[in-house]
Amino acid sequence: MINEELYQGTSKGAEGYAARLTFKKAKEEGINIAIHWQDADSSSSNAMTEHFPDAEIMICGGHAGKAHKKQLEKLAKKKSFTDQFKKKHHERFPQVDSVVCHCEKRHKPGCGCLSEAFIEKARNNFSLILSNSESAHEFAEALKALPRHACDKHEWDGGKCMFHALKVCSCGKCPDDAELKCDGKDYHTRQMLKCPMHSLAYEIECHQRASKSEQLIHPILKRGHSNWLEASHNVFIRFRPKHIYLERLHYTLSTELALLQSNMTYMYRKRGPQYHWVVELFRRLKLPVFDGVHRALEEFNELRMEKLEHVKTEKSKKRRIMLKVERTKDAQRRKEWSKKHGHDTYGDDEDSDTAELKPKEKKKSKKGQKMVEGQCKCGSKTHLRTSHECPYNKRRVNDAPCNNFSLLYR
């Protein structure tokens, strides 16, 4: 039986509440936390500093990348900066007071503003720079140079673009851009930012993330993440599926069993195939282990490890890549079919820099012109949608014969 009172707050505040209880218990048990990786949540940070004021708080790289993408998505919807935004960044970026989006109404494909394709690429670039940086300073400098690269500026006073060579192959036969055998051509960014406002917004956002570089890369431990529990999600859903209602005790027990299972790869390497958490759990509960259970669990461990090793082979990797390519091609085919038949595709499948805006041509109906079949509600080709001759016309309802009512209300 659990005698604790049920949590009375909202689901949004549950994470901070649980963090406060966890850190309090750690403090009571004599644990000293020196470094803590978290997802930049203020409630978790406040809970940590409340019980461990000297602890160093680091930010998870994965969550920082997601936050970077979300902020760019918010900035992409704006046509001008808010007064609060201007006040915050005016000192460092004075041009923030005057710039506006160069698109007067709606954005067009290839307009040079923050598009969905550009934001996805910016998210990937953030992760690549973080994973390849060995120090916080290196990460910050690379991230600050990224807005220039996005605006197709690859050389400037005191520096040049560090992401690629200034000249690239023009013949398509050179094995590497670093050793060109042809004359080459100047490098140009594919998805270029042309809008003065959105290019400034991207620069400000990159500088904001760069200012937190010391919280992303530790001088000794380097990069870290807080996704350990999230990485075990595929194990959790096998023990507590989301479509099944679980009571609190059942939910807690299932989560703890899932955590034990998620450690099996590590324990297999440390203790060998004869170890399994089921036997260990039964032993601690002083329950009997029946004949054949040890052998069955050992065979299960060996079979599981064989599958995991098979997944790591080059053949399996190529197969996964092939399936991903096929899924992408299939999605492209479906989008083309939907466009051909006049259905929504929910997103432009063409490159935002190369796509051309093709407005629909409206055909105007002329008086006396024959209508195409189906243009009028009644299906007639000889009159407009609801003219006096059409039985759907409201003025004819009272005068309509009985045999037309099936047509009127069908």
Task: Count Cβ atoms within 10 A of the Cβ of residue 27 and give its class: 0-12 exposed, 13-18 middle, 19 or more buried.
Answer: middle
Q: Whole-angstrom Cα distance, residue 91 to residue 85?
A: 11
Spatial neighbors of 250 by CB under 8 A, at least 6 apart, are 240
Q: Whole-angstrom Cα distance, residue 122 to residue 75?
A: 13
Query: With bands split at pLDDT 50, 70 and 90, how would you rate the model's confidence at 338?
Result: confident
DSSP 8-state class, residue 219:
T
Query: With bands split at pLDDT 50, 70 and 90, how would you rate the model's confidence at 38?
Result: confident
DSSP 8-state class, residue 365:
P
For the residues 25-43, what does the mean pLDDT come to? 86
Q: Determine which helix (DSSP H) or strand (DSSP E) holds 348, and give its type and residue range.
A: none
Per domain, the residue ranges of the chain are 17-59, 62-152+189-223, 154-188, 235-311, 385-410
Encode pLDDT of 168-218 as tens digits: 888 878 877 777 788 888 888 888 899 999 999 999 999 999 999 999 999
Q: Whole-angstrom Cα distance, residue 285 to residue 288?
A: 9
Query: With bands split at pLDDT 50, 70 and 90, how would you rate the model's confidence at 36?
Result: confident
Bridge partners (DSSP) listed for residue 37: 58
Spatial neighbors of 115 by CB under 8 A, at least 6 apart, are 76, 107, 109, 191, 352
Task: Count Cβ atoms within 10 A of the Cβ of residue 147 and give its class: 0-12 exposed, 13-18 middle, 19 or more buried.
Answer: buried
Query: What pLDDT, on the 0 to 100 scale, is given for residue 350?
Result: 39
DSSP 8-state class, residue 57:
E
The pLDDT mean for the chain works out to: 79
DSSP 8-state class, residue 58:
E
Encode pLDDT of 357-398 as tens digits: 444 444 454 444 444 444 565 666 666 555 556 666 655 544
Task: Count Cβ atoms within 10 A of the Cβ of residue 179 and give its class: 0-12 exposed, 13-18 middle, 19 or more buried.
Answer: exposed
Length of the chain: 410
Q: Is the pLDDT of residue 293 over 50?
A: yes
